[in-house]
Amino acid sequence: MLTRTHVEKIIGLCTEKADLDAFRSYTAPDYVFEIMGTQPAAGEWRGVDAMKRHFNAFKENFTEEFRFRATDILVDVEKRSAAVRLHSHALTDKGGGQYHQHCGWFIYFDANDKISRIVQYDDSKLVDDMTVRVATAEMQALR
């Protein structure tokens, strides 16, 4: 049954010490993780394995483990959806910049309480700036 407790449990599998293999059991067969904006990762990531590849690639930009936490969760049972406010832990990226991301997830559930889609909205400029900073540092290190 779709409840706040159910959503908190699922979000807990994606945040802090994520367990995406356990998260998989809460997703629909056609699950999509969609990132909005202009950043390089924007678009649809189909399936948990694709989401995992994105998370792993994103983590490579930092000098320490990238983790984030949910600070607010709102559930609309009638519309079979939830909104989650997320914050990353403060990090240093491999380009030497400070990074502290804030984003929102809109989560959509099917009739079986499985997640069919997560749509992520975040600060594309923050991500774009970090991506350029890291790529620049990597190129300079090759000289």
Instruction: Give 60-108 as a DSSP string.
Output: TTBSS---EEEEEEEEETTTTEEEEEEEEPPEEBTTS-EE--EEEEEEE
Q: How many domains does the chain have?
A: 1
Q: In the structure encoding, which two tokens stand for residue 78, read together?
A: 């009638």
CATH at residue 115: 3.10.450.50
Specify the range with the lowest mean pLDDT, choosing from 5-14, 57-66, 115-124, 130-139. Answer: 57-66
Structural domain boundaries enclosing 103: 4-142
Q: What is the pLDDT of residues 36-92, one digit of tens each?
A: 988 888 899 999 999 999 988 888 888 888 788 899 999 999 999 999 999 888 888
